[in-house]
Amino acid sequence: MPHDRPFAPQDLRPKPTRSRPLRIATAAGALWLGLILGWSGFLTAHQFRPGNASTLQHAWPPGSRLHPRPDALTAVLFAHPECPCFSATLTETERLQTLLREPLQLFVVFETDPAFDLFASRHFRRVSAWKNATIVHEADNREVALFGAQTSGQVLIFDKDRRLLFSGGITGSRAHEGDNPNLERAVAAARSRAPKVVLTPVYGCSLR
């Protein structure tokens, strides 16, 4: 439709923004980044905050009703049935069995409490599917006490002579899957059969 004014579309780009709002927005952005950085740092720090390690120091505790095989390494895992981080431990345990390339007898001891429905725990269901794992759950948590486990994700590896080779966690941080130095040290300890117990931090919920 003819118009009575020549065509000259308006430049819709924003007019030069007033400097004051832009400065305010920039300052707010800097504050924002700072807060994110701080919170992320706190979150990351929490991620690498370990729990209490096992008190067992040398060998299989006497009085334990668990009977390890004399022809294989034995690993004992301690788990809180609802600990979110334990999934990563289970994943690393699977990788541990692969990396060791020798028979490994596995005991998974669940902290039991009437408050928890053990059989509904996803961790219990997952371990139940393992062929070489023995699930231990006691009403009195006697084995947890005998082995001195305090944190979910605690792993103890014994040689054929029931000597303690490794005590600690096998994840890099809380709920963190993937290659990590703790797993590597566990594998090395199991292979080397060094006399000194290899210790690593344990990341998980407290068993007590």
Partner 1 sequence: MTMTRAASSAAAAEKVNAPPDVTALAETLFRNEERQVHIRTDQHFFWLFLVQWLGGIVLCGLVSPVAWQGTTMSIHEHLVAAVGLGGLIVGFPMALIRLMRGCGLTRHAVAAAQMLFAALLIHLTGGRLETHFHVFGSLAFLAFYRDPRVLITATVVVGLDHWLRSEFWPESVFGVSTGSLGRVLEHVGWVAFENAFLCWSIALSRRGMRAVALRQAKLEEANHRIQEQVLERQRAEERLRESERQFRTAIAKSPIPVMMYDEGGVVRLLSQGWTAYSGYTLEDIPTLGDWTQKAYNGRSDAVRAHIDQLFSLSEPVHEGEWTIRAKNGEPRVWDFHTVPLGKDGSGKRLLVSKGVDVTERKDAERQKNEFLALLAHELRNPLAPICSALHVLGEPAADAATVDQMRQMAERQVGHMARLLDDLLDVARISQGRFELRKEAVELGAALEGAAGSVRPFCEERRHELQVRRPAHPLWVQADRTRLEQVLTNLLNNAAKYTDPGGQIRLSAEAGAAEAVIRVRDTGIGIAPAMLPRIFELFVQGERRLTRSAGGVGIGLSLVKRLVELHGGRVDAFSPGLGQGSEFVVRLPALPGADPGRAMGQALLAGDQPQAAAGPAGWRVLVVDDNVDAAEGFAAALRLHGHEVRVAYDGPSALALADHFQPQAVLLDLGLPGMDGYEVARQLRENPALKRAWLAAVTGWGQPEDRQRSKDRGFACHLVKPVRLALLVQLLAEVQAGASG
3-state class (DSSP) for residue 43:
helix
Q: Pick from 75, 169, 172, 202 the residue near partner 1 by CB under 8 A.
A: 172
Residue 163, strand partner residues: 59
Say whether residue 177 binds partner 1 (CB under 8 A): yes
> Residue 205, interface with partner 1 (CB under 8 A)?
yes
What residues contact residue 68 under an 8 Å CB cut-off, 6+ apart?
A: 60, 74, 105, 107, 158, 162
Residue 134 CB, shortest distance to partner 1, in Å, is 23
| In contact, 197 and 57? CB cutoff 8 Å | yes
- H or E stretch including 25? helix 19-47
Stretch that binds partner 1, among 31-39, 59-67, 96-104, 130-138 (CB under 8 A): 31-39
Going residue by residue from 123 to 142, which x/- string records binding to partner 1, judged by CB under 8 A?
--------------------
Binding partner 1 (rule: CB under 8 A), the pick from 105, 121, 167, 180 is 180
Helix (H) or strand (E) holding 107: strand 104-110
**Amino acid letter at 25?**
A
Q: Are 153 and 79 in contact (CB under 8 A)?
A: yes
Indicate which single residue of 50, 61, 64, 84 sits in contact with partner 1 (rule: CB under 8 A): 84
Binding site for partner 1 (CB under 8 A): 2-14, 17, 21-22, 25-26, 28-29, 32-33, 35-36, 39-40, 43-44, 46-48, 80, 82-85, 87-88, 111, 113, 115-116, 152, 172-173, 175-181, 205-208
